[in-house]
Amino acid sequence: MKSKFVYFVLVLVTVYIAIMYQDSKAIAFLGFELLLFICMFFLAWYLKRGITVHLESKLPIAGKQKAVPVKIYIKNRHRLPAAQILIRLVYENDYSYHSGNETFWCSVDGQEEKILHYDMLAEYCGRIHFSISKIKVYDYLKLWSFPIKCKEEIQISILPDIHEIIASVSEHTRNFPIDGEEYDPRQSGDDPSEIFQTREFRAGDTLQRVHWKMSAKTDELITKEYSKPIGCSVLLLLDLHFNKKQQNYGNSFLQMDAFWEIAASVSYGLMTAGCRHYTAWFEEETGCVGRQYVQEEAQVYEMIHRALHLTPYLQKYELLSGYQAEHREAHFSTILILNTDLQLIKNGEVIAEFPKDKASEMLNGLLLEV
Amino acid sequence: MTKKNRLPGIEMIRQDTKAKGKTGYTWYGILLSFSCFLCGLIGCVGAFLDAFPVSSNHKTLYIGVLVIAVFYEVIWLLHKFWRWLLLLLLPLTTILQYFFEDIKKGFILISNSIQIVISSQGNNSSIEIMADDEKKIIISFLLITFLWAGVLWFSTMVRCVRTLTVFSLGSILTGILAVGQVPVFWAVCLMLFCCLGNFAGLSVDASPARQKGVLLTIIAGFALLAMGDLFAEPYLETCFKDKEQVKTRIQKTSVIQELMNSLPKWENPYASGGIGHGELGQVERITFSGNTALRVTTDEFPKETVYLRGYIGADYTGKSWDTVEDTEDEQIAVSIFSNKRQELKMLYNSNIEPFRMDVIRENASPKYQYRPYLSMPLEDADNKQYSYWYFPRSILENTNIAYMNTWENYWTFVNENYLSYPEEQLPRLLAQCREHPLESVDEIKNYIVSGLDQMAVYNLEVGKFPEDEEFTEYFLYEAKQGYCSHFATAAVLMFRMYGIPARYVEGYIAPVSDFHKKDGEYTANITDKRAHAWAEIYTQDGGWQPVEATPGYSIGADLPGSRESKETETQTNSEKPQETSEAETESEKNINKAPEKKAAGLNTVIKIGLCISGTFLLIVCIHLRRKWILRRRKKKNVREIFHDMYEVLQMGGLTEEVDCQEADFPAFAARHFTWMKEQEFAEIMNLVMRANFGRGVMKTEEIKFMRDNYRYICNKVYRNLPGMKKIIFRYCKVYY
């Protein structure tokens, strides 16, 4: 608008000069100005039709303070260069109250593609959404502009830092009878209700395990290997019921960041101590209780990745009851609950309360007995 | 160029941004930038030299300009150019010191050349320059060019400051146009290319795409300029065929005056028109500055309005009153009143002393003496101050002395000069006068004054009359409204039709209310609002005497608009002579209130009109603002909608202490606002929590759900609000 106004003033001045001075060239200049104005309109319109913008990030998951590349591809299909393109990139953290943006001018040569490369460094964990809210293609003098629509959006999950906590698995937990419906697909066990595999009879195998029917069919002794039930004696419940006032801007950043750090560290600590466990949460969107079995490191990260999609909810939800109703396994030697007040509760007793700004310090070297 | 609005906890680092310095330069870019800079520089120098031929040795000057341009380019290409520039300025300063006298002389010569061009008003004037002076001029000129080129260099190459480029180029063009010269075409073209390059975002380190854009812009500019010259100009010239008329109109129009005229006037409607030097109906409207025009001082408090004659018109042309030389009138006055003073003294045993009146001219036109009636000028007058012996008419009437009869010669002169009128142009007025034959002067005077009062209304905003209409006839029979000049003109013509010598007078009136006691004297500061026009008739026993034909004015009466100030005066000066209050009482009796009411009515209509227009404008503004805010509200996301919703609920009575993030908020809200269920509030809150802490993108249906609920809540809350809050809700806060 500013450019148009300046141009309008220039035209007025030319008109004034054309009237007041005995010089026909002023009229020629006026003609030039009017032609240029029209010409620039069509140029902007033409350029707009040839520009496409694409947003990309090849790293959907990253750690905190790790550079995550975000690329904006601007392609110009036409021969003429697009010298003035305005782009606004908007980014937003799930737990933030506001969004940030970067507005910049760029230019793309004719029939070329330009890549704008950004590195994103995140201080807090969570999901970060990137989108392009505004693209405007201008003519060379910035008199006219046309917007381009771009609905592309990318999401990058920033994982929480995992701190080393010392988990100690008690004898009680270790020998806790597991009553699971699932069986280990890789190991055989002693549960006769489920056959893991059949194989040739070897010396030392008991006759009770001989599969007589199959032996008769194959004319050789075949032995049954029973399945090993998979079960956990420890349950970690993540209670995302949010009941605190957001006192100032950025508070939720810290709070949720600390929450996920504690959850990840506890789960990782249990895993390293050889304590298989379930991590469960309430998914408000589906109304179900989701869970993740954690035995290996990869499963910890899978759990975190899934959990980062979760939404804190305002309504109070009895997570343990919900879990028991949905998954039936009611018997656990230890039930750990982590709530958004950053309290870690073990079997109904608060064993640790983390301040949101010093959670990482407290987590390092924390002794957790299950 | 990047504009950032950062989010805490996230940092975005642009990887493809070039490091600051000169690593991004290309020869292509450097060449293009330099070309633009050179175009601007040579264009300016060319335009200047063409308009102001300060030197005949143009070749040397252009070579010098080229050297300057190359100098700046080289400085630019060297890293840390500021340091180099400063370093090179040192020897330059030494050279300047060495040539100081020559440069000084050169400046004077250039200045003289420019002055000659200015004084020749756009005519081509040849300037002869001595061979010795040529060198001095060249040095001075190149020095100026060097400094000026620095500004252009900075704006085009260093920082790409568009405003500075336009300013540096535009100042030259404006200067040339201001002295009536037209800049040479090729120079303007060069400047234009420089500007185009600058506006297209040219810089040395611009991306290749942008540089190509600049080049294309310049090429397109060149082509379009040729097209404009060859094809567009013939078409546009038809639009400018009446340009001479427009040019004359522009030259004759004062923008300030037009602006002043466009402003609403809140002037005193009882004030009469300004002194127009006999011109009739030439102004669109009468304006007053409020400045003191005259200062009148008398020994005694005047008993009646003092009329101070300025312009005296004798011949009526239909558009103006022309004056005639009338020196005898002055001689008679001096002759009579010098004797009269003595006579009066003898008659009244020296009890009656004529007044002394000093008239000091402040802002009134210096063309006229402002002389009261029945007065004799004193010798101690200067250019600004005139002193008179002044005789109140009431005193002279009491003496009952017909002293004028002796001046037969003047009577003949008066009959010859003050009885003519254009009969053929005034058929209706003449017919009217003939329909009412009257004999005595008093009857005629009464008939004219009352007749004019009935025929026309006093109005200062009457505007110009049509050119093809006769002024008086149009005033009396068509427009039927006018101010003192109109009434006075009509009165004079009517007196002449009845055979009474009459003339048209413009001057100032000083009502008694304007006089204030100060240091034993009575002083009146007469502002330009007291400028007035009236008729004068001549009788053999009374000489020239004013006749007030303008409604609302009458001889001896105070002005209607001044009464308030007079009352204040009476209250504050209890020691004022008894005559004052008598004069006031008499004045009030004489005032004709009808035109006052008419004028006041007209003024009220204007005021009401303005009020209605203002109100309408205000309503339009409020409506547009409302529309704008509502449009913005439509674009809001779930969080922002909830923010507004919360404010609406608070306006509906929700206490501020309630935290919307508490679990029991839906229940609390449902209890408070019974027209909405708890479940609905809970759904809203869940949506808000998701928007706040969950997935970034909300579905269209969810946003619609939120918006529908917002509208529903607004509707319900609005209905329950008291009157004033409803207005705030809809028009100040614009929630709904």
Instruction: List strands edge to edge, sheet with B385-390.
Output: B375-377, B385-390, B355-361, B292-298, B521-527, B515-518
Mutate to test the interface with A, among B3, B4, B12, B164 (most CBs of A within 10 A): B12
**Cβ contact, residue pair B663, A29, below 8 Å:** no
Q: Which of A140, A246, A313 sits opposite B213 (nearest CB)?
A: A140
Question: Residue B589 above 50 pLDDT?
Answer: no
For B444, the token pair is 């005629």
SS3 B340: helix
In chain A, the residue whose alpha carbon lies closest to the alpha carbon of B222 is: A32
**For residues B407-438, b (16+ Cβ closer than 10 Å) or e, as one string?**
beebbebbeeebbebeeebbeebbebbeeeee
CB interface of A with B, residues 338-367, below 8 Å = none
End-to-end Cα distance, chain A: 67
Residue A68 with chain B: CB contacts under 8 Å:
none
* A&B contacts, CB < 8 Å: 242
Among candidate residues B242, B628, B601, B287, the one with its CA nearest the CA of residue B457: B601
Q: Which of A17, A105, A312 sits opposite B693 (nearest CB)?
A: A312
For the question of an ipTM over 0.95, the answer is no
Mutate to test the interface with A, among B7, B166, B203, B701 (most CBs of A within 10 A): B7
Question: Residue A23 above 80 pLDDT?
Answer: no
SS3 A208: helix
**Cβ contact, residue pair A97, B6, below 8 Å:** no
In chain B, the residue whose alpha carbon lies closest to the alpha carbon of A124 is: B9
Least confident segment among B223-227, B541-545, B590-594: B590-594
Question: Residue A114 above 80 pLDDT?
Answer: yes
**Cβ contact, residue pair B9, A21, below 8 Å:** no
**Cβ contact, residue pair A19, B243, below 8 Å:** yes
In chain B, the residue whose alpha carbon lies closest to the alpha carbon of A117 is: B15
Question: Residue B218 above 70 pLDDT?
Answer: yes
Q: Which of B9, B212, B231 sits opposite A124 (nearest CB)?
A: B9
In chain A, the residue whose alpha carbon lies closest to the alpha carbon of B689 is: A313
Q: How far is CA B676 from CA A314, B62, B705, B722, in A?
A: 19, 84, 14, 20
Residue B29 with chain A: CB contacts under 8 Å:
none
**Cβ contact, residue pair B235, A128, below 8 Å:** no
Mutate to test the interface with B, among A4, A5, A29, A282 (most CBs of B within 10 A): A29
Q: Which of A127, A142, A243 sits opposite B663 (nearest CB)?
A: A243
In chain A, the residue whose alpha carbon lies closest to the alpha carbon of B225 is: A32
Least confident segment among B39-43, B174-178, B416-420, B427-431: B174-178
B616-627: per-residue pLDDT in tens?
Answer: 888 888 888 898
B365-415: per-residue pLDDT in tens?
Answer: 877 888 888 777 776 666 677 888 777 666 665 554 444 555 667 778 888
Nearest CA to CA, how far is B657 from chain A (Å)? Answer: 12
Hey, how many other C-beta atoms are within 10 angstroms of the C-beta on B91? Answer: 9
pLDDT of residue A105: 85
Parallel, antiparallel, or unpaired for β A234-239 and A334-339?
Answer: parallel
CB-based contact B52:B112 (threshold 8 Å): no
More confident residue, B163 or B586: B163
Tell me what percent of the residues of chain B surpass a pLDDT of 90: 2
Hey, how many other C-beta atoms are within 10 angstroms of the C-beta on B101? Answer: 9
- Phi then psi for B12, rounded to 5 degrees? -110, 125
Tell me what percent of the residues of chain A surpass a pLDDT of 70: 94
SS3 B547: strand
DSSP H/E element including B63: helix B58-77
Nearest CA to CA, how far is A69 from chain B (Å)? Answer: 9
Residue A98 with chain B: CB contacts under 8 Å:
7
- Which band of pLDDT confidence, cut at 50, 70 and 90, is reported for residue B656? low
- Which band of pLDDT confidence, cut at 50, 70 and 90, is reported for residue B554? low
- What's the predicted TM-score (pTM) here? 0.53
**Cβ contact, residue pair B689, A313, below 8 Å:** yes
Residue A72 with chain B: CB contacts under 8 Å:
none
CB-based contact A130:A55 (threshold 8 Å): yes
Residue B220 with chain A: CB contacts under 8 Å:
36, 39
Hey, how many other C-beta atoms are within 10 angstroms of the C-beta on B608? Answer: 10
Least confident segment among B373-387, B526-540, B645-659: B373-387
Average pLDDT of the residues in B179-208: 79
Nearest CA to CA, how far is B614 from chain A (Å)? Answer: 28
**Cβ contact, residue pair B216, A81, below 8 Å:** yes
Q: How far is CA B443 from CA A181, A298, B396, B421, in A?
A: 130, 122, 21, 21
SS3 A366: coil
- Which band of pLDDT confidence, cut at 50, 70 and 90, is reported for residue B588? very low
Nearest CA to CA, how far is B704 from chain A (Å)? Answer: 18
Average pLDDT of the residues in B598-616: 68
- Type of residue at B517: K
Alpha helices in chain A (DSSP H): 2-20, 25-50, 171-174, 212-218, 251-272, 297-307, 319-327, 359-363
Nearest CA to CA, how far is A140 from chain B (Å)? Answer: 5
Q: Which of B1, B10, B201 sits opposite A128 (nearest CB)?
A: B10
**Cβ contact, residue pair A35, B235, below 8 Å:** no
pLDDT of residue B590: 41
Average pLDDT of the residues in B650-666: 77
**Cβ contact, residue pair B177, A21, below 8 Å:** yes
pLDDT of residue B5: 59
Alpha-carbon gap, residue A355 to A344, rounded angstroms: 12
Q: Which of A23, A35, A100 sits opposite B182 (nearest CB)?
A: A23
CB-based contact B156:B33 (threshold 8 Å): yes
In chain A, the residue whose alpha carbon lies closest to the alpha carbon of B667 is: A315
Average pLDDT of the residues in A288-311: 86
The DSSP line for B667-697 is HHHHHH-TTS-HHHHHHHHHHHHHHHHS-SP
Residue B613 has, within 13 A of its CA and on its CB side, a CA count of 7
In chain B, the residue whose alpha carbon lies closest to the alpha carbon of A317 is: B663
Average pLDDT of the residues in A191-220: 86
Alpha-carbon gap, residue B170 to B188, rounded angstroms: 10
Average pLDDT of the residues in B43-62: 82
Residue B209 with chain A: CB contacts under 8 Å:
81-83, 107-110, 112
Q: Which of B201, B228, B685 sits opposite A29 (nearest CB)?
A: B228
Question: Residue B270 above 80 pLDDT?
Answer: no
Which range of B172-181, B256-265, B468-477, B488-497 scores highest in mean pLDDT? It is: B488-497
In chain A, the residue whose alpha carbon lies closest to the alpha carbon of B238 is: A27
Strand partners, B504: B313, B535
Tell me what percent of the residues of chain B surpass a pLDDT of 70: 74
**Cβ contact, residue pair A28, B214, below 8 Å:** no
pLDDT of residue B273: 42
pLDDT of residue B632: 86
- Phi then psi for A294, rounded to 5 degrees? -120, 115
Mutate to test the interface with A, among B1, B5, B10, B214 (most CBs of A within 10 A): B10
- Type of residue at B283: V
Question: Residue B699 above 80 pLDDT?
Answer: no
CB interface of A with B, residues 77-106, below 8 Å = 80-84, 89, 91-106
pLDDT of residue B79: 67
How many helices (H) and strands (E) chain A has is answered by 8, 20
Which range of B141-145, B271-275, B589-593 scores highest in mean pLDDT? It is: B141-145
CB-based contact B205:B25 (threshold 8 Å): yes
A129-167: per-residue pLDDT in tens?
Answer: 888 888 999 988 888 889 988 888 888 888 888 888 888
Hey, how many other C-beta atoms are within 10 angstroms of the C-beta on A123? Answer: 15
Residue A228 has, within 13 A of its CA and on its CB side, a CA count of 8
- Which band of pLDDT confidence, cut at 50, 70 and 90, is reported for residue B593? very low
Residue B693 with chain A: CB contacts under 8 Å:
94-95, 242, 252, 256, 311-312
Residue A255 with chain B: CB contacts under 8 Å:
none
Q: Which of B13, B192, B696 sits opposite A119 (nearest CB)?
A: B13
Q: Which of B5, B206, B696 sits opposite A129 (nearest CB)?
A: B696
SS3 B162: helix
Among candidate residues B372, B385, B376, the one with its CA nearest the CA of residue B302: B372
In chain A, the residue whose alpha carbon lies closest to the alpha carbon of B233 is: A28
**Cβ contact, residue pair A105, B1, below 8 Å:** yes
Mutate to test the interface with B, among A95, A97, A107, A309 (most CBs of B within 10 A): A107
A215-273: per-residue pLDDT in tens?
Answer: 898 888 899 888 877 677 788 999 888 765 544 444 567 788 888 889 999 999 988 88
